[in-house]
Amino acid sequence: MTEYLSALRQRLDTRDALISVIGLGYVGLPLVLRFAEVGFRVLGVDIDPVKVAKLNAGESYIEHVAPEAVAALVRSGFRATGDFAALKEADAIIICVPTPLNAYREPDLSYVTGTMDMVAPQMRAGQLVSLESTTYPGTTEEELRPRIEKHGLVVGETAFLCFSPEREDPGNELFRTQTIPKVCGGSTPACLEAGVALYSAVIDKVIPMSSTRAAEMTKLLENIHRAVNIGLVNEMKVVADRMGIDIHEVIRAAATKPFGFVPYWPGPGLGGHCIPIDPFYLTWKAREYGVHTRFIELAGEINSAMPRWVVAKLADALNDREQSLKGSRILLLGVAYKKNVDDMRESPSLELMELLTEKGAQVEYSDPHVPRLSRTRKHDFELESVHLDAARIASYDAVLLATDHSAFDYDLVCSAARLIVDTRGVYPTGHPNVVKA
C-alpha cells in the first residue's frame, strides 16, 4: 500500500475526508446528501449558477429531494460552487455529468472530457477520481487517465481512478442511494481499494470489479437488457393491436407464471437519462472491434418508432370520428418520462408534442409534477400545465395519455373526454371512448 493510499484510506475511515461531487442533478445531489448523512464534509460543484445558488440557499430543485433535506445539508456545512479551483482541497472527486448522444446518435463525451480538463490541473497527490457517468468500455482508461497523468500524477501510485456507475431510480420508494448495490472498478488494484473504501462508507454493498472496462460494460448491460425487453413488448404491442388483443392483459396473465418470465411494459417510447441512450454507446464502440450489434440496434429502432406509431393511432381514431388531426385540440396527459416524477430527460412526450404540432394539432398538456415546460436543446416549447376539470377535458378533441401519474383522476378523464388514446394500459378493454396505443 502506497503512503498516499494509506493516508486516503485513513481519512475515509475516520470521515475526515472532503468529498466533492461534480454535477448536482438527479444522481449527484442524492449522493451529496448520503455522504453528508454519515458525517463527511461535502463540496458540490456545478456549472449551472442557478443550481449553485438554490443549493446554497437551502432550496431543492428536484421533486423527490425534500427541501428540508437540502436545508439541513447547508446547515451541516455543505456548500456548492462553480469554481473548480476548490477541488484542490478535496480527497475524493466524483464526476456525475451527462453523457448524451450527438445529432448522429453517437456518444457525446464532451461533458466528461470537458469536466476532466478542468479537474486535472487542480489535482494534487493522494486524490481519488471516480467517474459515475454511463459510457462505453474504455472511457476511464482512454479519456480520464491520460488527462490525470499529463499533469505529473501516476494513477495507482500518487492518484487513484475508478469507475462506479450510478444506479439511481428517481421516484422509486423501494430503493435509495444507500441500499442500491454499487459496482466499482479501478484502474489498478490500489485504485480499486480506494474506490471500494470510498463507497463502502455510504453504500450497504459494494461489488468490486476486475477493471474499469468491466464496470463500464456492466452498466451498459443493465440498461441494454431493459431496452431490448421493452423493444420486444413494444413490437408485441403492435402485433397484438392488429389482432385486436389487449397486450396489457396478456402481460398481466404471463406475469402470473412464477418462473422464467419478467414483465416489461410497452409505452409511447423510451425516456430517461439511460435507457434511450446507453445502447448506442455500446453499438458505437463495438464497431471498433468489427462487431455489428444487430439485436441491440433493432430494439432501438422499434423503441424509437413508438412515438410515430402512437400519433398514427391517434390520427386514425380521430379519422374514425370524421375529424382531422390537423386543427384538432389535443391534451397530452403527462410529460415526465415516467410516472410520479418530475424528470423530463429524453421524455417521449416531448417528441409526441413535436410530431403533433408538426401535423397541425393544437397541443396542451397537464402534469402535476411538471408545472412548466421550457425550451431545451432539442425542443422549443414554452407551455404551462393546465388544470383538469370536466369542462376543460371535454373541450379537447382527444386526450393522449402518455404518462400514468398516480395523481390523475382517471375516472374523471374517462367520463369527460370525447376520445382517449391510452399508451399505458390504464383503462381496460371495452371503454367506447378509449383507443389503446
Residue where a domain stops, chosen among 167, 185, 215: 215
The strand pairing partners of 160, in sequence order, are 128
CA dist., res. 251 & res. 137, Å (int): 34
Residue where a domain stops, chosen among 151, 180, 215: 215
Asked if residue 271 and residue 162 are part of one domain, the reply reads no
Give 381: exposed, middle or buried? Use CB within 10 Å, 0-12, 13-18, 19+: middle
pLDDT at 103: 81
CA dist., res. 275 & res. 167, Å (int): 12
Asked if residue 276 and residue 143 are part of one domain, the reply reads no
Q: Where are the beta strands (DSSP E) in 157-235?
A: 160-163, 182-186, 206-209
Task: Output the average pLDDT for the chain.
Answer: 94
Give 170: exposed, middle or buried? Use CB within 10 Å, 0-12, 13-18, 19+: buried
Confirm whether 73 is domain-assigned.
yes
Asked if residue 383 and residue 246 are part of one domain, the reply reads yes
pLDDT at 378: 67
Nearest C-alpha neighbor of 130 from the set 145, 152, 118: 145
Confirm whether 391 is domain-assigned.
yes
pTM of structure: 0.91
CA trace torsion 343, 344, 346, 348 (10° rounding)? 110
pLDDT at 377: 65
Alpha-carbon distances, residue 344 vs 212, 272, 281 (angstroms):
30, 7, 21
Give 147: exposed, middle or buried? Use CB within 10 Å, 0-12, 13-18, 19+: middle
Asked if residue 23 and residue 159 are part of one domain, the reply reads yes
Write the DSSP assignment of 21-39 as a string of letters: EE--STTHHHHHHHHHHTT
Helix H or strand E encompassing 422: strand 420-422
**Low-confidence residues in the chain, pLDDT < 70:** 1, 376-378
Structural domain of 133: 3-215
CA dist., res. 378 & res. 387, Å (int): 26
Asked if residue 384 and residue 352 are part of one domain, the reply reads yes
Q: Where are the beta strands (DSSP E) in 267-361?
A: 329-333
CA trace torsion 286, 292, 295, 300 (10° rounding)? 70
Q: Are 54 and 60 in contact (CB under 8 A)?
A: yes
Q: Which residues are catalytic?
A: 274
Percentage of the residues of the chain whose pLDDT score is greater than 70: 99
pLDDT at 166: 94
The pLDDT tens digits of the residues spanning 260-317 come to 999 999 999 988 777 778 888 999 999 999 999 999 999 989 999 999 999 999 999 9
Backbone angles phi, psi at 373, to 5 degrees: -105, 130
- Residue 186's SS3 state is strand
Confirm whether 362 is domain-assigned.
yes
pLDDT at 274: 75
Give 294: exposed, middle or buried? Use CB within 10 Å, 0-12, 13-18, 19+: exposed
pLDDT at 106: 87
CATH of the domain at 337: 3.40.50.720
**Beta pairing, strands 329-333 & 362-366:** parallel
Confirm whether 56 is domain-assigned.
yes
Confirm whether 171 is domain-assigned.
yes
pLDDT at 375: 72
Q: Which residue has the cell 423501494?
A: 174
Asked if residue 280 and residue 181 are part of one domain, the reply reads no
Asked if residue 239 and residue 164 are part of one domain, the reply reads no
